[in-house]
Structure formats: structure tokens, C-alpha cells
Amino acid sequence: MTGGAGFVGSHVSEYYARRGDTVTVIDNLSRARMLGGIGDSLYNWNYLKSFENVELIQGDVRDFGDVKKASEEVNTIVHAAAQVAVTKSLEDPRTDFDINAVGTFNVLEAARARDADLIYCSTNKVYGTNVDRIPVSEGSERYAFADDKFENGIPENFPIDLCNHSPYGCSKLAGDLFVQDYAETYGLRTAVFRMSCIYGERQFGVEDQGWVAWFVIATITGSPITIYGDGKQVRDVLYVSDLVDAFQAFIRSKVKHDVFNIGGGRENTLSLLELLDLLEMATGKKPRVSFSNWRQADQKVYISDISKAQKNLGWSPTTPPGEGLKRLIDWFTTTSTLSADAGSGALSKKE
């Protein structure tokens, strides 16, 4: 499990550890450093120490030696290690490329040496601004695709060429394509999951990544929330345990290789404004909101067409946004004390 101390990675690691499998986690704890020494990678690293069948290796996917060591005895690799923020990729595209593209190449070479199955955590950002060419309609609290062809969302064969992606979208797409090519060229069993907005417990969202968790944190702590744009932008949201179930559905399937758009689908969508309303009802606190200009590479609407995963993997989301949000709020409010630096968006969490 690469990036196993991150949000998604820790949930994958916990799932298989509780099944009784032996789990090897590699993580360089960069998320904790990005958040000033505290954050989900350090928290989850310590959380995973409670499982005797989880081996923790502090290493970096950019170092092939680290990756090779971590993969010596594994049969399946879930590759979640990544630089995950569009804003960071714009500031430092070289580091973004090294982690997301070169790191993925190292993981693929390790998988090829072991003939291990590989699940790659890709992103909806691979479709870039082509998504914005779809006409949208505007309602009082949300945008919607105005073209009936995309009633169920964006399919896996949606164009990726001749558009802006951001460095993050490009580096993740490079990894995405390499995974597909290793399946075709070397016969690896692989799955690419192009993920939409994943949320849930143990996610330390900040302003530029993990927006559902960040809105929860800011609302609970009374920190200001800046919305870039008008707040009507829509995403499909997927509770993290449903994502893990999708990974397991692939592992137990007979699918040799495929690409799946994975998210909540059209039945599990939220606009930013709608999430704020839900949070106020759930917490009794009114979020402190201000508005600013749209950011580069932001999409007004993104909804995953999940019909392929439903058909080929026999998988569907089971956790509606209201229920998942309640679990996330309960975790933040009952397991620890939160504090947030309103100026920087940095978060600390103490037992």
C-alpha cells in the first residue's frame, strides 16, 4: 500500500488488516510536513500501529529501492501515494511530476518484478477543461450539465486531449496511461480508478484539497471558508468505505484490466452551497463564508458516470451524503480536539 498513511491509503490498509491479511504500508509522511508537522499521514501512521499485521515502512515512491523493498512479499499493490493538490502543482510542477509520474513508474516496475496486481488511484482531473465545454444550466444553488448525453456524468471515454489539465492533472494522467500501457505491454493485472471527491473519517482537509472535510473542520472550529466562484459548482461525493469496496470488487472480479470513473455518481452530488446548508443543519453552526474569484482548472460541474463499475464490478455506493457527513462530523467532534489557523488553513488534531 503506497501512501498508506494518507486518508484513502489508511482506510484501505485498515480494511485488509481487519480481514486478517498482511499489509505493508510505505509512506514518507509528506502530508504531515505540508501541514506543519501534524496531519492525516502522521495521525494515520500512529493509528495503523495498533494492527499487528501491518508493517510500516517510512519511504518514498520516488526512490525505487524503497518501493522494491516494500513490495518484496506482496501480491497486490494499491498505489495511493501522490502529490494531491492542484495549487501545489502550479507552484512546484517538478516535485508534482516526480511524485506522481516518476513515483508511479517505480511502482509499476516493482509490480512487474513481482507480477503483482495493481490498483492505481487516478483522478477526474485527467479530463481537464474539456469538461467545461459541456453546456451547463444554472439553478438557485447549483449548476447542472445541460447536455442530456451526460445525464449520468462523465464516461471513461471522455476526451483528454487539447485542453488544460494543470500540472497535477498532467502528472496523474501520465501515471494513468503508464498503468494502462503496462497492462497491455507486460500483461499486468491493473485497474485505474479515476476518483471524484472522496470523503470520510481521518481526512484532514485543507482549503486546496479535501473540500468536504475542510468545510466540516472550518464550520466546527469557526474558521473562515473562502469559496472560489459562486458556490454553485457541483461534485459527486463518495464515502471512503464505498471506495474501498470498489477496490475489493475489482480484486475479487475476473477483470484483467480496466479504467473506471469512481465517485458517488448522479445520485450522490452536492454543490458547495448545498454542503454549507447541510453543515448548518447538522452542527447548529453557521459557516463563516466569503467569496473570491474562480481558480484555474476549477470545473463548474463534475459528476462521474459510474455505470461501468456498477456493471463490470457489481459495485454501487451504499452511503448517501447525509449519512457519510454525519459520520465525519461525529468523528471530528467526539474523538479529539480540533484547532485551525484561519490564516493558513493549517489544521492540528490532538488526542
Three-class secondary structure assignment of 52-70: CCEEEEECCCCCHHHHHHH
pLDDT of residue 138: 97
Q: With 70 as the cut, is the pLDDT of residue 347 above it?
A: no
What's the rounded mean pLDDT across residues 96-112? 98
Active site residues: 168
Q: With 70 as the cut, is the pLDDT of residue 120 above it?
A: yes
Burial class (CB in 10 A: 0-12, 13-18, 19+), 221: middle
Q: With 50 as the cut, is the pLDDT of residue 141 above it?
A: yes
Q: With 50 as the cut, is the pLDDT of residue 150 above it?
A: yes
β-strand partners of 54: 23
Higher pLDDT, 35 or 250: 250
pTM score of the predicted model: 0.94
Q: With 90 as the cut, is the pLDDT of residue 159 above it?
A: yes
66-to-103, 139, 153, 172, 220 alpha-carbon distances in Å: 11, 50, 39, 21, 39
Please state the φ and ψ torsions of residue 34, each to the nearest 5 degrees: -65, -35
Helix (H, G, I), strand (E, B) or coil at 177: helix
Q: With 50 as the cut, is the pLDDT of residue 261 above it?
A: yes
Burial class (CB in 10 A: 0-12, 13-18, 19+), 275: buried
> To the nearest whole percent, how much of the chain has pLDDT over 90?
86
Beta strands in 153-266 (DSSP E): 190-195, 197-199, 224-228, 234-239, 257-262
Please name the residue that has the C-alpha cell 445520485: 267
pLDDT of residue 345: 42
Q: With 50 as the cut, is the pLDDT of residue 342 above it?
A: no
What's the rounded mean pLDDT across residues 222-245? 97
Task: Give 36-59 pLDDT, tens digit per residue.
Answer: 444 567 889 999 999 999 999 999
pLDDT of residue 312: 98
> To the nearest whole percent, how much of the chain has pLDDT over 70?
93
80 secondary structure, DSSP code: -
- Given CA atoms 169, 104, 2, 19 in this order, what sign does their dihedral have? positive
Contact 255, 191 (CB under 8 A): yes
What's the rounded mean pLDDT across residues 311-336? 93
Q: With 70 as the cut, is the pLDDT of residue 135 above it?
A: yes
What's the rounded mean pLDDT across residues 3-30? 96
Q: How far is CA 295 from the centre of its chain?
A: 19
Task: Give 288-311 pLDDT, tens digit per residue.
Answer: 999 999 987 688 999 999 999 999
What's the rounded mean pLDDT across residues 315-323? 97
Could you tell me how many residues make up the chain? 351
Q: With 50 as the cut, is the pLDDT of residue 231 above it?
A: yes
Helix (H, G, I), strand (E, B) or coil at 279: helix
CATH number of 7-350: 3.40.50.720
